[in-house]
Structure 1
Amino acid sequence: MTLSNSLADLHLDDSIQLELSNGILRLWLNRPESRNAMSLAMVKAIQQVFTAIQDDQSIRAVVIRGKGGHFCAGGDIKDMSQLCGEAMNIGSNQPYVDFNRQFGAMLEQVDQAPQTVVAVLEGVVLGGGFGLVCVSDVALSLANAKLGLPETGLGIIPAQIAPFVVKRIGLTQARRLALLGNRFDGHAALQYGVIHEVVEHEAALELSLSLVIKQIKRTAPHASRVTKALLHQTLTEPLKTLLDDAAQHFADAVSSSEGIEGTLAFVQKRDPNWMDEEK
């Protein structure tokens, strides 16, 4: 499948697979033999992709899911074993620090991506995989998926994941899930606010995804990017500054070609031209 110019020159290993069609990039976690556990190579590959598409407005959304019936089982134990050897050789825990922090940088990059990020959940969704869900814009899940933060039961901590989990579901729920390490299904994930929709079988999951993609394509490309950035700013900017900036963004949007076309399409009761471009 032909990739956009922003992706064509990437040299990725086979830990992920990419499929691009009509502005939708499907990013497959591709280590089914380990239930798509996240290796350092996978983390770096995901970062490469999101760096490459940062300014590519032809890519409207990124759909992340796992090969082999599982989303992601968390961090790769083999990588951790290798890090143990490196730490012993140099007499320092710095290799653990570097590995863990790079995973957090990847989560932050996905979180801030201008594209709409959709996570599609099946099988196990644990640890790092759970963190990846928490930085998605839309999350869909099978009812029998198994989600959780098992770190404390393994004698480690959800170090880079924790801030994103708290932002996603609030401190009260995050404390219980992280400190007890319970696993839960898609219905509970919906109740906690981790995901947005739960379905009972594969066919329903595919249908739900297709409807989400259709809705994404109905939104104006630039307006969608600006809106996502604005939503992130609500967590960090003082209210007055935020509202001042938002007013300017609104004025820019109304007077833009997208704003003019969207208003005209509404009055004329037709689809806006960016939907024609996506067909």
Structure 2
Amino acid sequence: MQNISDMQLDESLQLEQEKGVITIWLNRPESRNAMSVKMVESIQQIFTAIENDTSIRAVIFRGKAGHFCAGGDIKDMANVRAEAMAAGNSKPYADFNRKFGAMIEQVDQAPQTVIAVLEGAVLGGGFGLACVSDIAICLENAKFGLPETGLGIIPAQIAPFVVKRVGLTQARRLALLGMKFDGNTALNIGVVHEVAEDQAELELLLNSTIEHILLTAPHASRVTKALLHRSLNEPLEQLLDEAALQFAQAVGSDEGMEGTMAFIQKRKPKWADLD
């Protein structure tokens, strides 16, 4: 397994690791942390490296300099345009766009709990990334939106994840109007789970979220997240049969026994002690 401290990542990302939590900082403040191809590839590299690492309990996405992510990088788009003109077809555009979708899907399916801390611009691809987080918290004055249609393009890779997050009715309105909205509206339509009035409250919400994650059993959390994803696509009877078997395994597992004993003895379970 690759150690994340040894990975050669693009400078557009900065990594921090404390106990069982990794923070991925989007680090392109000059462009409000717009997503470059190198940034996308580095995020994929990180999630591939930690996929089977049960010591990593949570991954936090944040943006440097007061913004989360303003969408795709315009300079990269210009480079792809040159490739497309040289090739005489649109395949370079499709490949460029699909790479972002593959990254979003990988984050969505990651076994770790993914937290998005949203400030400033949360637009386009940044909005899509927020929509695949397990827990999203934001500042009240954050600016969300899907501006693609106003730019003459479409939210191609983001759309399915927005629909899963907020439902088709809201997704239609957001994508077809392309308007921006604040953190309170994001809370009302289901993009985020909690809203902070200021930076101090945002950090308190983040710390509380991490504390709760570390109290949950590592393997049980992974199995639960996978089960929730499966519930959208699989026949109910088959899913419930398999879930019953997983429940039986969990009850008899080391985690199940430790969790029960911790509850009876009124103490934290051993997995919560990461010191």
For this structure pair, what is the TM-score category when the shorter chain's length is used for normalisation? over 0.9
Whether 2:75 is the aligned partner of 1:78: answer: yes
Instruction: Give percent identity, aligned residues only.
Output: 68
For the residue of structure 2 that corresponds to 1:157, the secondary structure is coil
Query: How many residues were matched structurally?
Result: 275
Q: Secondary structure at the match of 2:234?
A: coil
Aligned-partner SS, 2:52 = coil
Question: Are positions 1:178 and 2:175 aligned together?
Answer: yes
* Counterpart check, 1:144 vs 2:137: no
> How many Å separate the matches in 2 of 1:273 and 1:199?
31
State the AA in 2 paired with 1:211: S
The answer to whether structure 1 residue 202 and structure 2 residue 199 are counterparts is: yes
Give deviations 1:131-178, integer Å, cap 9, x for gaps: 000000000000000000000000000000000000000000000000
Q: How is 1:52-131 mapped onto 2 (pairs within 5 angstroms)?
A: 52-131=49-128
Q: Which residue of 2 aligns with 1:253?
A: 250
Matches within 5 A, 1:236-275: 236-275=233-272
1: CA distance, partners of 2:125 / 2:5: 28
SS at match of 2:16: strand
Match status 1:167 vs 2:164:
yes
Q: Kindly report structure 1 stretches of 4+ aligned residues shifted beyond 3 Å.
A: none
Matched, 1:213 2:210: yes
Q: CA deviation at 1:8?
A: 3.2
Displacement of 1:5 = 5.0
Counterparts of 1:119 and 1:37 in 2: how far apart (Å)?
Answer: 16
- Gaps of at least 5 residues in structure 1 are none
The residue type equivalent to 1:255 in the other structure is G
Query: Which of residues 33, 36, 45 in structure 1 aligns to 2:33?
Result: 36
Q: Aligned equivalents of 2:2 and 2:57: distance in 1?
A: 15
Q: Matches of 2:222 and 2:39 in 1, distance apart?
A: 26
Q: Which residue of 2 aligns with 1:226?
A: 223
| Distance in 1 separating the partners of 2:183 and 2:152 | 26
- The 2-side partners of 1:245 and 1:16 are apart by 39
Letter in 1 for 2:250: A
- Larger displacement relative to structure 2 (183-192 or 4-13): 4-13
* TM-score (ref. length: structure 1): 0.97
Q: State the 1:240 CA deviation.
A: 1.0
The counterpart of 1:156, out of the listed 147, 153, 171, is 153
